[in-house]
Amino acid sequence: MNAHAHLRVENLVTEFVTRHGVVRALDEISFELHPGQIMGLVGESGSGKSLTGFSIMGLLDPPGRVSSGRIMLGNKDLRLINAEQLRQIRGNRMAMIFQDPMMTLNPVMKISVQMIETIRAHRQISNTQAIDECLQALKMVGIASPEERLNAYPHQFSGGMRQRVAIAIALLNKPDVIIADEPTTALDVTIQGQILGVIQNICRQTGTSVIWITHDLSVVSGLADQISVMYAGRIVEQGPSASVLSQPAHPYTRGLIRSVPSVNHPHERLYQIPGTAPSLALLPMGCAFNPRCERSSLECLKKPDFTDLSPTHKLRCVHPYLEPLELTR
Ligand SMILES: Nc1ncnc2c1ncn2[C@@H]1O[C@H](COP(=O)(O)OP(=O)(O)OP(=O)(O)O)[C@@H](O)[C@H]1O
Ligand SMILES: [Mg+2]
């Protein structure tokens, strides 16, 4: 399983050139994922989670562009290879799963044809072996009687099953990294749980690492090894899941955790972080969260650097909470 490469993103900056100037949409994103690890990338809508995924995959649409930083997959910097080499890596060493499985699936093609094409685009293998691998992938994601289902069209599957097929396709070439962009938000909670379980098992078994993008901390809390919290295009807190969840130090992370519905008090009114997320084109000065923050002071008008809470847990905040979180609900 250690044959898989590890992903290291260093100071990734993504910009949009607009009529009103250059908008820095991602500001020095850094993280590291070892084989078989799962990272939850969490934040409110518009915080730059999908942009991070697209930037890594080389799928940004103009006028967006990665303007600096390194995206190291093993010893290759994906920013320094040509378009053809990147195409070879995509769908093979790295795959993306989208919220809408129809971004992956072609409605007029049988599942079998799409799956075999995905394999053949990267590997020369016999038809029999390709079919065998397709069946294995469908089994892995929990699709019953895969022999029959292989010959179906996407519309013949339910939403949850369609997403499983999209995941099976992402798995076909045993990638080093899967970027899953809110792949379960459209599904009901039970099916979400099942699919998360499937992904976690596969990572552990195959050594594939996963970036799981979500706005819902509760989704990744039982699943991820590490959590990166994004706000306004920046990572504001990052560390092992257990540490971030039990001792969230950034006021924004605390707010996110407090706004997760509690199983024990399902009918209680939920906490909401006051205010709304800023536009990336008009970021507040300094710490972008400061206008919404209960701890904000004049010092917050200067952009905070990362400080270490522990050797693995870091955050950008000059007024961190240092005591463990006690939920008073
Ligand atoms: N072509 C573009 N030009 C300018 N800004 C853009 C462009 N595309 C995206 N953005 C901005 O980048 C920001 C981050 O978008 P992104 O889609 O990554 O957010 P997200 O965290 O995935 O949100 P969501 O949870 O809603 O999916 C958004 O505020 C969006 O307005
Ligand atoms: Mg998104």
pLDDT digits (tens, 9 = 90+) for 57-79: 999 999 999 999 999 999 999 99
pLDDT value for 327: 64
Beta bridge partners of 31: 9
Cβ of 43 below 6 Å from ligand 1:
yes
**Residue 223 three-state SS:** coil
Cis peptide upstream of residue 251 (ω within 30 degrees of 0): no
What residues are neighbours of ligand 2 (ion), with CB under 5 Å? 50
Round to whole Å and give the CA distance between 317 and 296: 10
If you measure from the C-alpha of residue 48 to the centroid of ligand 1, how many angstroms do you get, rounded to a whole number? 6
pLDDT value for 276: 92
If you measure from the C-alpha of residue 323 to the centroid of ligand 2, how many angstroms do you get, rounded to a whole number? 32
Round to whole Å and give the CA distance between 186 and 196: 13
If you measure from the C-alpha of residue 181 to the centroid of ligand 2, how many angstroms do you get, rounded to a whole number? 7
Return the best residue to mutate from 41, 47, 65, 100 for the ligand 1 pocket (most ligand atoms within 8 A of CB).
47
Return the best residue to mutate from 12, 13, 16, 211 for the ligand 1 pocket (most ligand atoms within 8 A of CB).
16
- Residue 19: pLDDT band (50, 70, 90) is confident
The whole-number average pLDDT for the span 153-163 is: 93
Q: Which residue, by CA, sits nearest to atom 31 of ligand 1?
A: 46
Residue-wise burial string across 163-179, b where 16 or more C-beta atoms lie within 10 A, e elsewhere = bbbbbbbbbbbbbbbbb
Q: Please say whether the beta carbons of 254 and 318 come within 8 A.
A: no
Q: Which residue, by CA, sits nearest to atom 6 of ligand 1?
A: 16
- pTM score, whole prediction: 0.93
Weakest mean pLDDT among 165-174, 259-268, 276-285: 259-268
Cβ of 247 below 6 Å from ligand 1:
no
- Residue 260: pLDDT band (50, 70, 90) is confident
Cβ of 53 below 6 Å from ligand 1:
no
If you measure from the C-alpha of residue 50 to the centroid of ligand 1, how many angstroms do you get, rounded to a whole number? 7
- Residue 49: pLDDT band (50, 70, 90) is very high
